[in-house]
Chains A and B, each alone.
Chain A
């Protein structure tokens, strides 16, 4: 039996989590969504996630800080950054700091799923959309 991937999704826009949770769950992953970066970091400390999807620009804690936090915790974890067109410089910085990939807002659920599938592949897990 294949391992169930644990995914954490962090975006300070609650709708993103609300809509993407069922979308990612269809890949057969365990999804936890957060709209509060502090709470997300706390959760990352408690649990090791396989994939972390985080928005780069958030009011209290930056996406790059989240990336650093995850990298410090577990190098194996793939971090996917959500970014806007105006933040290409930040995205480049994130890639340098070890982010797996980035996805620009606005995106379709399928776009993110494709990146997650790619990340899962590098983790040796093959994901398919269920249901």
Chain B
């Protein structure tokens, strides 16, 4: 049982080792084999999230705060030491003073020498006990020496006074005076030393107080500045991202769907958000394309009545010619038969052309952005709408400024926009009325403007604000979907242009489509066409 387990582990371990070696080999061989693909497989940008940013900022602040606390504790400890030193110096001084007072009492009244000695012994004990704290502040040996000498002198004078009854009183008095002088001198030196210690202790305490205050002040200022810096960094990062998003959202609102590009080379929560927005944009774009396509088919539906009528002519010609050819075949000369056959071919070609334009337009196609001449787009659009224009009995004046710069866009999408505008204009124009289409340079630099002008009844104020809304229509049910202007606006915005409308009640409406001219150097050649014609019924 145990052997089985060990065997399994061994095999498993071997397999893992083999896999690891294979992986390493594959890595090294790919590095060697494809040194030029570094660009393609560029390292994934590292992830530096805002959460991590906050945590790091917090951690660094904590470390600094801890440092400050430690420095404060150290200063506090030093302060305590200073205060202690001061206390010792105080008691040193007061002990010396008391001893001297007792000494004076002895010299004046003959009592107190014992007290003085005890005080001195106490002082000696104090100095010995606090050797560590006092070291460096007083000359230890000389202080202890002074105390011992003082006590010894006191002992000597006590001994001298006990020998009162002895001979040679003069000598004794002289000796006493000498001793007294020495005691005073020694006492004075002790007072001096105590005074020095006191002032040293005071100095040390003052110095420490100053240090404490300075450390405290600088710590607080530094911490505030540091926190401001961290907040500034974080705020700047978040604000920059928010500004970027708001900039892109304005673009998106105008229909220009662009991938959000942030300036930094790391990933964070905003990168996730921008990816989500990119996904949303792609989906919106796809939906808009579907909408535009369905609207296009709707426009095609509008065109079909005109197309059907137009198709009737060649079909009728073919029917008549074929029937007559059949009926009179034997009576006809060869030339007449050839003429009829040619007519059949020509009319079939005419029918094919009528349908081809429409099918070309209706076909669902990929967006192809290319340099295009607005003139040719307008002419193609008029060809498409030609039958509708004829049916409506409307005269169209088209004027295109010669040598207009090319625009960069998708031909069929732009055609769709102008078709929508022309069909709308036709709807409000009475039979025998006029439509004007003018293409020329725009007031804005680097733009061209195409105006579709009708002389209909104009658009009332309350309707004007809704005309670009999807599904908004003033046409009767079944005649309009309310998508034409909405889709057109979407298409033009995607091309970086805009549609504006100017209307006067019962005077007419002008739709102006502004489109940016191409800035690609190779496509800068102007359009050569010079078109100034009118379609009249």
Q: Which of A16-24, A46-54, A68-76 contacts B (4 or more CB under 8 A)?
A: A16-24
When distances are taken between beta carbons in the complex, the residues of chain A under 8 Å from B309 are: 57, 84-87
Query: B320 contacts A84, CB within 8 Å?
Result: no
Query: B391 contacts A109, CB within 8 Å?
Result: no
Query: B308 contacts A15, CB within 8 Å?
Result: no
Among B312, B320, B390, B537, which residue has its beta carbon within 8 angstroms of that of A85?
B312
How far apart are A128's CB and chain B's nearest CB, in angstroms? 15
Query: A16 contacts B327, CB within 8 Å?
Result: no
Mask, A70-111, CB within 8 Å of B = 1, is 000000000000001111000000000000000001111110
CB nearest neighbor in B for A112: B320
When distances are taken between beta carbons in the complex, the residues of chain B under 8 Å from A109 are: 320, 323-324, 327
CB nearest neighbor in B for A17: B320
Query: A105 contacts B312, CB within 8 Å?
Result: yes
Query: A106 contacts B319, CB within 8 Å?
Result: yes
16 contacts between A and B (CB under 8 A): A13-B313, A15-B321, A15-B347, A19-B340, A20-B320, A22-B324, A57-B391, A84-B308, A85-B308, A85-B309, A85-B312, A86-B308, A106-B319, A107-B319, A108-B319, A110-B323
Query: A23 contacts B327, CB within 8 Å?
Result: yes
Residues of B within 8 A of A (CB): 305-306, 308-309, 312-313, 315-321, 323-324, 327-328, 340, 343, 347, 390-391, 536-537
4 tightest A-B CB contacts, nearest first: A106-B316, A105-B312, A19-B320, A105-B316
**Is A59 part of the contact surface with B, judged by Cβ < 8 Å?**
yes
CB nearest neighbor in A for B306: A86
When distances are taken between beta carbons in the complex, the residues of chain A under 8 Å from B536 are: 59
Q: Given the complex of chains A and B, what is the CA–CA distance between A109 and B319 in angstroms?
A: 8
Query: A106 contacts B328, CB within 8 Å?
Result: no
Query: B343 contacts A22, CB within 8 Å?
Result: no
CB nearest neighbor in B for A59: B537
Q: Given the complex of chains A and B, what is the CA–CA distance between A105 and B518 in angstroms?
A: 47
CB nearest neighbor in B for A55: B313
Q: Given the complex of chains A and B, what is the CA–CA distance between A89 and B485 in angstroms?
A: 30
When distances are taken between beta carbons in the complex, the residues of chain A under 8 Å from B308 are: 84-86
CB nearest neighbor in B for A15: B317
When distances are taken between beta carbons in the complex, the residues of chain A under 8 Å from B391 are: 57, 86
Query: B324 contacts A106, CB within 8 Å?
Result: no
Q: Given the complex of chains A and B, what is the CA–CA distance between A84 and B314 in angstroms?
A: 12
Query: A19 contacts B324, CB within 8 Å?
Result: yes
Q: Given the complex of chains A and B, what is the CA–CA distance between A107 and B315 in angstroms?
A: 9
Query: A108 contacts B313, CB within 8 Å?
Result: no
Residues of A within 8 A of B (CB): 13, 15-16, 19-20, 22-23, 57, 59-60, 84-87, 105-110
Query: B313 contacts A105, CB within 8 Å?
Result: yes
CB nearest neighbor in A for B313: A13
When distances are taken between beta carbons in the complex, the residues of chain A under 8 Å from B316 are: 13, 16, 105-107
When distances are taken between beta carbons in the complex, the residues of chain B under 8 Å from A107 are: 316, 319-320
How far apart are B323's CB and chain A's nearest CB, in angstroms? 5
Known: A16-B316, A106-B316. 7 other contacts (CB 8 A): A15-B320, A16-B317, A16-B320, A20-B320, A22-B328, A57-B391, A84-B312
How far apart are A131's CB and chain B's nearest CB, in angstroms? 8
When distances are taken between beta carbons in the complex, the residues of chain A under 8 Å from B340 are: 19
Query: A59 contacts B390, CB within 8 Å?
Result: yes
How far apart are A65's CB and chain B's nearest CB, in angstroms? 12
Among A15, A19, A86, which residue has its beta carbon within 8 angstroms of that of B305?
A86
When distances are taken between beta carbons in the complex, the residues of chain B under 8 Å from A105 are: 312-313, 315-316
Q: Given the complex of chains A and B, what is the CA–CA distance between A110 and B306 in angstroms?
A: 27
Q: Given the complex of chains A and B, what is the CA–CA distance between A110 and B328 in angstroms?
A: 13
Q: Given the complex of chains A and B, what is the CA–CA distance between A116 and B347 in angstroms?
A: 26
When distances are taken between beta carbons in the complex, the residues of chain A under 8 Å from B323 are: 23, 108-110
When distances are taken between beta carbons in the complex, the residues of chain A under 8 Å from B328 are: 22
Pick the most buried of B315, B320, B343: most chain A CB atoms within 10 A of its CB.
B320
How far apart are B109's CB and chain A's nearest CB, in angstroms? 148
Q: Given the complex of chains A and B, what is the CA–CA distance between A99 and B320 in angstroms?
A: 23
When distances are taken between beta carbons in the complex, the residues of chain B under 8 Å from A15 are: 317, 320-321, 343, 347
Query: B315 contacts A106, CB within 8 Å?
Result: yes
Query: B315 contacts A19, CB within 8 Å?
Result: no
Q: Given the complex of chains A and B, what is the CA–CA distance between A85 and B308 in angstroms?
A: 8
When distances are taken between beta carbons in the complex, the residues of chain B under 8 Å from A85 are: 308-309, 312
CB nearest neighbor in A for B536: A59
How far apart are A56's CB and chain B's nearest CB, in angstroms? 10
Q: Given the complex of chains A and B, what is the CA–CA distance between A87 and B392 in angstroms?
A: 12
Pick the most buried of A15, A20, A60, A85: most chain B CB atoms within 10 A of its CB.
A15
When distances are taken between beta carbons in the complex, the residues of chain A under 8 Å from B313 are: 13, 105
When distances are taken between beta carbons in the complex, the residues of chain B under 8 Å from A87 are: 309
Q: Given the complex of chains A and B, what is the CA–CA distance between A109 and B322 in angstroms?
A: 10
CB nearest neighbor in B for A109: B323
Q: Given the complex of chains A and B, what is the CA–CA distance between A16 and B390 in angstroms?
A: 20
CB nearest neighbor in B for A12: B313
When distances are taken between beta carbons in the complex, the residues of chain B under 8 Å from A86 are: 305-306, 308-309, 391
When distances are taken between beta carbons in the complex, the residues of chain A under 8 Å from B306 are: 86
